[in-house]
Structure 1
Amino acid sequence: MTSSFDSGLGIRPRRMRRTPALRRLAAETRVHPAELILPVFVREGLDAPRPIEAMPGVMQHTLESVRQVARDAVAAGIGGIMLFGVPATRDAIGSQADHPEGILNLAIAAVHEEAGDQLVVQADLCLDEFTDHGHCGVLDAAGEVDNDATLTRYEAIAITQARAGAAVLGVSGMMDGQVAAVRTALDEAGHADTAILAYSAKYASAFYGPFREAVDSQLSGNRRGYQQDPANRREGVREAALDINEGADIVMVKPASTYLDVLSDVAEMSPVPVWAYQVSGEAAMIEAAAANGWIDRRAAIEESIVSIRRAGADAVLTYFALELAGWLR
């Protein structure tokens, strides 16, 4: 006698789910520590790491404490660190972003010195942390972000970050032509080996909220004039294709969990690696639900990352990178 679910052919998919060993053997997607990248904040003027209230377990670091983070990252075997700087002073053009003694550039040098080639040192290339208006570019007389004037600033920042020791520059401002401008500037300055991570499909998301505290954002208003509309799927693929054509070595989808369709689309078409960023709000939701006893924290973290990998991400930026690497190892 046959049952309706096997059509008389003995087709029983549950056979391969029966034991942990069978499930492990049949797994289609795996996560390795080398596929994880840790975002790290370094703040000027601190004498000790400072907790970020909206991001449990995440700190703003000093130039000394970030060295320990780098050592921990090497020991954990994760792929890299993405550094963000929080300056003590800001101005309209974000002049601290390309100052050789600016906090982010000092942090790049410190981590590079500490980790060498054992860790991929990456830097956020944007202006939002450094401007007194909080936008990702310089403003024109009407108060709008001036795309082409911003590219000039990105070129200067790229050269400074490369000189400081960054191996990968995360070009995250969503300006048209940003990858081509940065690539040309790097090549002409003798940094042809510095890679570009293009934040290609970066959406104007509500899930960036906790990040604003992490970088002490000065933003009023929003970034919908240059970040992507959450309603648009095809546009994410178009942006990625443009960045690849301009010379991006890696393309990014951000946020990750609420844009898995875009991530899958980009991964399907991309000849270069595709990364995804599990942003602050995604992590904060897991932490909040776990703190209330509503979900299993470890299981939720593991499921969230494997889901991002399953959708097509070759690597994932996540605030859980060190912890998850420990579980994996």
Structure 2
Amino acid sequence: MATNSISSKGGRLTLIKSVLSSIPTYFMSVHVILVSVARRIEQLQWDFLWGDGGAGGHYHLVSWDQICMSKEQGGLGVRRLVLFNLALLGKWLWRFVEERERLWRRVVVAKFGVDRGVLVSAMRVEEGQLRVWNVQLRRDVQDWELDQLVDLLGFLYDLHLGQADNDALVWDCPRAKGIFTVSSFYGALVEDKCVFHGTLVYLWKSVWVPGTPSKVAFFVWTASLGRILTIDNLIRRGHILVNWCCLCGQVAESIDHLFIHCSVSSRLWMLVVAIFAMVWVQPGSLFVVLQSWVGGSVGKRRRKAWILALRYLLWLIWLERNRRVFHGVAHSITWLERCLLTVLYSWVTGLVDPDVLAFTDFVENLIC
């Protein structure tokens, strides 16, 4: 992979999901991974994502717990190795019960038997009009397992079975359609282990938009969580800095000010709104912008350009801010406006070097 792809956060995330998380998959499908080994691998992935490389000096802007959440919950969907290991091993338990005539199962039964553990053999019998369950435990119940036995009996007697119903093994998990899958088992394990606080729903569809470059989508995700290193966030991390906005030079720099309320950023917002002939009230926070920028009233033909315009506008503001802070280079507002339209054209059409006529038609189609 090219160096610039690896250096971007989007490229690193792709490598983690496709390579680093997949390397131990075969081992975990047949063995129990040590928790210490899993934690070490996850630490390497976390360091790699934020560009640490073992030398230090890079902030880990988002916790690993947050990263391992699904995109719908505000994470990146990276797998927890310990839970994924359990899901992979659970596949063998399911196959052991389901594939009773397979050679591998008969070998296991012949060598180890099936009388160990706490397996339950249950049979429904009829006594007149009353159906009862003949539950036979293969070992004595311990005192601390009585509650589980009561729950089991309650579950069995709550079942409503018809006269002609045949017994079948069904995987009771949402979106699995009765068939066991490793992904559905992993999702159930994650939901069981994670506790989510608050009632705020993460707007993942407003962050992960098709057509957006991975590095830009990763940046928008980080900004939506309030974790990018603006001066106010650096001060919270212990840096002694003068808090001022390098774009307007008037007030303190925060995420909401930099991307929305700054006079330079406001000019760019007004350009986008004017092109699409929209009436727009400046919101108070970036989260509200992502929540409201759905593109429902701009028409189907211009919706893609409208949605992508928000992503590149945020990215353009961040690039200009960093150029001024680290390189001392400040571009004019006219240059930024031209850059905004040119890159938006390339994102929507897929063309890198547009000719003048095609670019003019593109802008006219946005206005119309």
Q: Compute the TM-score of the two structures, normalised by the length of structure 1.
A: 0.23
Determine which structure has the larger strand proportion and give its number. 1
Determine which structure has the larger helix proportion and give its number. 2
Q: Compute the TM-score of the two structures, normalised by the length of structure 2.
A: 0.22
Higher RCO, 1 vs 2 (CA within 8 Å, ≥6 residues apart): 1
